[in-house]
Amino acid sequence: MSQVLVRDISVLMKVLLGRYPSQSAVVELSSRSIEDNFSIILTSSEFVKNVVRPVSEKKPFVHINKNLEFSRTEISGLLDKLSLKETNKRLNEIKGWQELFVSLILSEEALGLLEKANIPQTRRKVYFDYREQFVAAAAREAAVISSRRAVEQEVKLPVLPSPVTAKPPVVQADKAPTVSVPPEPAKGAEVKVEGSVAEKVPKVEPRAEDKKIPGEKGQVESIRLINDSRRKVMQIEREFLGLIKTLAKVDRANFEKIIGSKEKADSFDREIGNQLNAIKDQLSKSKQILEDNKVPIEVGSLYETTKGLIDVLSFDYPETPYYARLRRAFAGLPSYSVLMQVYNTLTQVDNRRLAQLPLATDDLVSVIMPVFNRPKLIKDAIASVLAQSYANFELIICDDASTDDTVKVIQSFKDKRIRLVRQEKQAGAAAARNKALQASRGNFIAYLDSDNIWHPRFIELMLECLKRSPGNLAAYAGYFDLAMNGTGAATLKKADLKQFHLEDQLEVPFVDLNSFLHSRRLYDTFGGFDERLERRQDYDLISRYCWIREPLALPHVLNIYQRLEAEEQITRTQKSNVDSPKLISSKIASYYEAGLPASIPPWVKKVTVLSWDMSRNHFAKAYCVAEALSKHLEVELISFRFFEEEVFKPLADVKPRFETKYFAGGEFPEFFDNFAKCVEAITGDIIYVVKPRLTSLGIGLLSNYHTGKPLMLECNDLETVVGSAKAKDAHAGKALDDVFDVMGQAKVPHDIIWSQVLDPVVDQLPVVYTHNVNLNIHYRNRCLYMRNIKNDALYDPAIYNRDAVRSELGFKPEDRVILFGGLVRKHKGIFELIGLLEKLNDPRYKLLVVGSRETPDLKKINEQHANNVVILPPQPPERMAAINLASDLVVLWFDPKIPAGLYQSPYKMSDALAMGPAIIASPTSDLGEFARRELVWSAPFGDSDKLVATIKRVLDDAPELERRRKRARAFFQREFSYKSVFPAFALGASALQKDKVYDVSEKFAKFFSNFEAAYRNK
Amino acid sequence: MVKIAIKNPAPLGQNLEKWGDYHFALSLAQCFEKRGAQVVQHFWPEWDRDDGEDVILVLRGKRNYIPPKNKTSIMWVISHPATVFADEMRAYHRVYVASENHYRMIRNDPSINVDVARQCTDTSIFRPGGGATERRGISFVANSRGVRRDILAWALEAGTNVSVVGRHWKSVGLQRHVVKDYITNTELPAFYGSTRLTLNDHWGDMYYYGYVNNRIFDCLACGTPILTDYFPELKSICGDRLLYARDKDSFAESIKRYYLAYPDVLDNAASLWRDIGPNYSFDARAEQILDWIKSQRWTKHPTSPTQGANESSPQFSKMLEKAISLVRERGISREIQMLHLFPDKENVDTLFRNSELSYLSAGFGKGPWHIFLDDTMSALADRNLDFILVDDSQLANGLNASALLSILESARKKIAPKGVIVVPAGLNAVIESKKKLSDGYFII
């Protein structure tokens, strides 16, 4: 688009400066600052007076007088004396000319004219946009000035209200109001106010319907201002047309002479004619659109409201450049979605928090800003940081060996929160950012490049967001992509905001580093920027930081990225660099295949994994975590045997390659012996406790109490409801001392009372893992994720032969095998599946049930449905993998009325994600979100018709099956494979202190001391 | 104002401050001075100095001493009670022993003016330490002296991790548990104050006489719970508010309580000290001693004791001289690590006071000696002793030949490569390969 603009202007240039007809000259003119110069020339005599004249001796070389006529002789006269090149050179030497330019174009007159000059390049609604914004600007300006004057005169005057915000006018009743006439700069926006001593309030002339409430007077007045402004617009419009006509009426003979040939002059004429026609067309089209759409330019429209808000904010909060830039960006009409984003943010954030302080926290936020030769842009970037509402930050700017005034500009800011670090040799943005990171001290880190501008509440909002959900360690907001061409015309190109799924981000990135804020723990664990990358270092960093735990999406657009044509923000060499993308994709491939590299604190050499019991299936998770961690660290797995099975069956024959310490279970008081022995047996540097049970968490707490060894707790069920599958089994948390009321129950270490008293303890532990959104919510959003992981060496579709496994199991190629794995219990939807087969009424559908233990439910099924149901005994892990591969579909149907199901993340799901059968699930817990992410399909629980329809639809859509299979596999590799364990563990470890006894451990120890005494004293 | 000279067994020289007696006397002196007394310290070997003091207070540990007649004299037996005999005590106006048990043994002797003054602690230095959350680990502050100490053995057998502070643990193969060789007295309160539990035991003679060591009181003053060996006098003072171990099973029971009920254990230590602390400070002892001094007329003197009490026979002294020079000839230059097996009362004092020897006594079962032996002498480090003297005691004579042979066999394993085992001629009959050392003694 900007190219069109350049061409248009260059055509005008040709006409104006007819002596430069050659193509190369035109290119030269249009490609650099000439177009800027032209705008200035065109728009401001101020510029000529202040800038050009001192440079070019006496006279301006072109200048528009009040009648918008310009002197041809003046132009050629001047140009004869000063070559264009020289003019450019001189202009560039004048410091601050760009700033001047900016301020000039922001004056209404300039703004209006510039907008007109832009008409050919804008698309739909341009006319509306132009006029709209001008009216608003003019009216706003007028009203602001009026009210300011009124305040000065201590008279209440109508303030231009935005429909959303209205600053209360200052009233001093004891002083007589005086009549005030709006000042000249309001450009015809006349404000007439009458008042009398008797009334002591200003009086306006409202329309009849606006007389009701005094507060509305301002609005009435503003409408009048706007109407006046409209008249002014019409006038300027006429003048503009006059300008164009003048352009067209250049003295023909003279022109031919200058241009050197008639043909050339004719061709220019034609071009001019075309351009003019285009402008006219555009104008009338725009008018037509305006009419057709019946878009009223009135107070209250979304655009108007938004613009009004921006005006107020940019007036009231001049310390941040954000609003001013946004205001300017509104010169180019944003798309509807962008407009909505701006409106939402302004109304839901800015307007709700006007002048409010942010929540105070101790958190220091380090803002990382690399810079190389950006003396102009960086000012705004720095100012936007200094204007942050959240004041507890350090801004670390790393100068990458700038060769211009950049460092001076930085040093001109005297804020103590700014720290400048400098590279001796230019080493690139990644190295500069790393250097700044190394110097940083904050426990949160944000990034702002020198060509970006933050919303003044960026840090505040992001921190708030992370504090509400401390288990997520990063957050991102949306950003505006603001394109500014040479004339300063700005367009908000997009405001990107998407819900997160890493595979989507990897495909088409939508998280921008400048609107990303994260915990220092991510840096500690996953390192800084990859200095080998010339570009897309941010993409690489974000992919690592979001790999194991997704960031929070803050639904506001809080950062403006400025694309400036004049600045080479990404250099050509960077653009053409193909090594970086290659390196990044090989890195990402390796994360999937070998796991994300992570570092842990040096004092962590050994981990103790504590599982409350080893006889039942809950042992599997602890075992898997221990096994996965044992590739990276020394591991010991400690557990008790409370039930008849020696060890959970599928693991009975597995020889662990890590240390195990198993103790006999029992009942108190005899069990105290082994309880104490277990506390003593712990030798890990970190204790990874699986489930908040007495013989896991209780042991962990006592160990922490004695040794200060840090704890991590994994909650993979709501233990208070998991034991039974009835709707009435609601969760209940109890106080520790409630144990003394039920000593009979409490002698059994795995009695529910222990789960009930330990559940509230979870809140007070530093690191909690879960694998399920509802558990995360139950534990106040504090959890990291440790999914229901699987050994990816076994759960690898490549190592099995699907057809062979199917035929082994007795299925025909055309069969559609629905798999039900895991413990057969009523709440897991098994009976619904049986009923389903009948409904599907298609012999191809087979139900394959792989049970874990003999339950009454399983028995019943076995007896009743021998024909189309195949039942297998519990299978070892590698066999389960093959069975999943051989299956076509897994149905995960959870009754939302049964609490137990709402807090689980079934192994069946992990298996299926890994091995490829389609998953149809009721939108329960994570499965709702997984459907949104297009990993699984959803069908509501209990509606078998919809389920039948979904099954058919899914299994008939082979391409979509394949797409989701790939997506699910990637997701599995990232979050559900053994490889995901160590980075997740490392992330947890980064929050732990080496030697610290938790308050809750002390509390528990006191309680347990009393519990032990209760037996001793008997 | 009374002037007191403390006869301090700590020897002048660079190791002065490493002696517990040095710090003991310093604390005591301060408490005397607080109460208006003037105090001078006479360190070994300058015990014969006279600074014009009115009262001599002998801290009876390693050194015995006969006080001049013209001074009021007090003996306070604070350690090694087995080496103190009635005659020596009779030379003093006043004798304090550090246990009720010891007191009962001698209180009926009308020529000994005896009272109980137990060990104590300096409450200006040993003060309450951290709470449960600041304390870490189980510690044991003790030098091994080549002896595997039961309390530590039980701990290790139970799998309890103990941080040992002290020397000579290498010889018994426990160096890996040592976190520090030596801790100064000034570091000790902070160390105790940051430890969760301290193990404690008593040398056999202390145990035999019911002497509670000062470590108990130091720790209690720091609020530090103690798991200690058991004897009735200790229990009578501390009751159930300490953790006790008589063997490895009771140790395990106590350590279980430690793990499961530490808040209780910690509270017990604190409440115990609240109750008994006031009676176990140097202030209390100074008060007690000064009270007695004030009650005395300075002119009254005890009867002159026999000079050179507990002298061993010239034959024994000659043997000792020869044995030491033999050990030195063989190239052993350190302080000679000496074990006195089946100690004969007559000889103990001579051996104990010899400055070239690091003296340990041992016998079967519980007796007034340092180490209780089993058949194999398992409590002792192998190849660590430079000099074993099998004494001509009743006990040794009472053993039958084969038992004695097996003991000597064990003793051989304990002796260092260049060390000597000396037996009296009385054992002649049962020992074959031997060579005469001096009259009445052989080396085997």
- Each residue's pLDDT tens digit in chain B (444 positions)? 899 999 999 999 998 988 889 999 999 999 999 999 999 999 998 999 999 999 999 999 888 899 998 889 999 999 889 888 888 999 999 999 999 999 998 988 888 999 999 999 999 999 999 999 999 999 999 998 888 889 999 999 988 999 999 998 998 889 999 999 999 989 999 999 999 999 999 998 899 999 999 999 999 999 999 999 999 999 999 999 999 999 999 999 999 999 999 999 999 999 999 999 999 999 999 999 999 998 875 544 555 555 444 567 888 888 899 999 999 999 888 889 999 988 887 788 788 778 888 888 888 777 788 888 887 888 888 888 999 998 876 666 667 777 778 888 888 889 988 888 988 877 766 677 778 887 778 887
Average pLDDT, chain A: 75
B162 C-beta neighbours (distance < 10 Å), count: 20
Cα B65 to Cα B307: distance, rounded to the nearest angstrom: 10
Q: What phi and psi values does residue A281 have, to the nearest 5 degrees? A: -55, -50
- DSSP class of residue A518? E
User: Could you give the CA distance from residue B273 to residue A277 in angstroms, rounded to a whole number?
Assistant: 104
CA separation for the pair B210, B231 (Å, rounded):
7
A1013 contacts B259? CB cut-off 8 A: no
Give the pair of three-digit tokens for residue A40.
């200035």
Q: How far is CA A926 from the centre of its chain?
A: 20
**Contact (CB<8Å) B136/A677:** no
Would the CB atoms of B196 and A706 count as touching at under 8 Å?
yes
Question: A672 touching B, CB under 8 A?
Answer: yes
Chain B contact for A993 (CB, 8 A cutoff): no
The b-or-e profile of A329-354 (16+ CB within 10 A means b, else e) is bbbbbbeeebbebbbbbbeebbeeee
From residue A396, alpha-carbon distances to A420, A806, A1001 in Å are 6, 61, 39
d(CA A986, CA A595): 12
The model scores a pTM over 0.90: no
Token pair recorded at residue A841: 């009424």
- In a 3-state reduction of DSSP, which class is residue B443? strand
Residue of higher predicted confidence among A434 and B331: A434
Mean pLDDT over A946-969 rounds to 93
Q: Which of B160, B196, B260 sits opposite A672 (nearest CB)?
A: B260
Question: Cβ atoms within 10 A of the Cβ of A210, count?
Answer: 16
Beta strands in A620-693 (DSSP E): 634-641, 659-664, 686-690
For chain A, the first-to-last Cα distance in angstroms comes to: 89
Asked if ipTM goes beyond 0.90, one says no
Where is average pLDDT lowest: A186-200, A215-229, A247-261, B214-228? Answer: A186-200
Cβ neighbourhood burial of B45 (10 Å; 0-12, 13-18, 19+) = exposed
Residue of chain A whose alpha carbon sits nearest to that of B162:
A680
Picking from A680, A997, A1012, the nearest residue to B133 by CB comes out as A997
A269, pLDDT greater than 80 = no
CA angle A918, A510, A490 (to 5 degrees): 150
Q: Which of B243, B260, B264, B268 to mutate against chain A (most A CBs within 10 Å)? A: B260
Per-residue DSSP letter, A677: H
Long-range pairs for A379-383: beta carbons < 8 A, 24 or more residues apart:
A379/A409, A380/A321, A380/A325, A380/A453, A381/A448, A381/A449, A381/A450, A381/A451, A381/A452, A381/A453, A382/A410, A382/A413, A382/A418, A383/A319, A383/A320, A383/A321
The secondary structure of residue A194, as a DSSP letter, is: E
Cα–chain-centroid distance for residue A935?
A: 21
Q: In this predicted model, which residue has the larger pLDDT, A803 or A143?
A: A803
Please determine, for residue A105, whether its predicted confidence score (pLDDT) is greater than 90: no
Residue A781 pLDDT? 95
Measuring CA to CA, how many Å separate B79 from each of B76, B98, B151, B201?
9, 8, 20, 14
With bands split at pLDDT 50, 70 and 90, how would you rate the model's confidence at A617? confident
User: What is the predicted pLDDT for the residue at A272?
Assistant: 57
Residues in A closer than 8 angstroms to B261, CB to CB, are 1008-1009, 1012-1013
pLDDT above 80 for A75? no
Task: Outline where DSSP puts E strands in A763-814.
Answer: 767-770, 783-785
Q: With contact defined as beta carbons under 8 Å apart, do A914 and A819 qualify?
A: no
Q: Do B159 and A1005 touch (CB under 8 A)?
A: no
pLDDT at A486 over 70: no
The pLDDT score that the predictor gives to residue B350 is 82
Look at residues B254, B250, B222 and name the one whose alpha carbon lies nearest to residue B241: B254
Q: In chain A, positions 447-476, which contact chain B (CB-CB < 8 Å)?
A: none
The angle at the Cα of B275, spanning B273 to B280, to the nearest 5 degrees, equals: 65
Least confident of A138-147, A210-219, A821-830, B115-124: A210-219
- Cβ atoms B177, B153 nearer than 8 A: no
Task: Check B136 against A675: CB less than 8 A apart.
Answer: no
Q: How far is A636 from chain B (nearest CA, A)?
A: 16
Query: At residue B220, what is the residue type?
Result: L
Check residues A185 and A403 and name the one with the higher pLDDT: A403
The residue with tokens 């005297």 is: A414
Are the C-beta atoms of B2 and B37 separated by less than 8 Å? yes
Q: How far is CA B307 from CA A201, A620, B90, B113, in A?
A: 119, 81, 11, 19
| Angle formed at CA A474 by CA A468 and CA A479, multiple of 5 degrees | 100
Most confident stretch, A40-54, A283-297, A941-955: A941-955
Distance CA(A231)–CA(A226), nearest Å, equals 9
Q: What does the alpha-carbon distance between residue B79 and residue B59 come to, in Å, rounded to a whole number?
A: 9
Identify all chain A residues contacting B161, using CB atoms and an 8 Å cutoff: 680
**Residue among B132, B260, B263 minimizing CB distance to A676:** B260
More confident residue, A231 or A426: A426
Q: Which of A178-187, A431-440, A669-678, B150-159 has the lowest mean pLDDT?
A: A178-187
DSSP 8-class letter at A401: -
A671 vs A749, B154, B416, CA distance in Å? 9, 21, 47
Average pLDDT estimate for A571-596: 83
Closest by CA to A484, choosing from A627, A332, A369, A353, is: A332
Report the pLDDT value the prediction gives residue B355, as an integer from 0 to 100.
80
pLDDT tens-digit map of A127-160 = 333 344 444 444 444 444 444 444 434 333 333 3
Percentage of chain A with pLDDT > 90? 46
CB A906, CB A788: distance < 8 Å: yes
Query: Is the model's pLDDT at A485 over the cut of 50?
Result: yes
Interchain proximity A679–B160, CB inside 8 Å: no
Is B262's CB within 8 Å of A680's CB? no
Query: pLDDT: is A702 or B86 the higher one?
Result: A702
Which has the higher per-residue pLDDT, A615 or A98? Answer: A615
Per residue in A441-471, pLDDT (tens digit) is 999 999 999 999 999 999 999 999 999 999 9
| B259 neighbourhood in chain A, CB within 8 Å | 676, 679-680, 702, 706
Of A327-331, A790-794, B2-6, B263-267, give the lowest mean pLDDT range.
A327-331
Closest by Cβ to B259, choosing from A702, A997, A1006: A702
CA angle A850/A851/A853 to nearest 5° reads 160
Residues A750 and A108: their CA atoms lie apart, in Å, by: 77
Give contacts of B249 with chain A, Cβ < 8 Å. Answer: none
Q: Do A702 and B196 touch (CB under 8 A)?
A: no
Mean pLDDT value of segment A698-716:
97
Strands in B94-97's sheet, in edge-to-edge order, are B38-44, B3-11, B55-60, B72-77, B94-97, B114-116
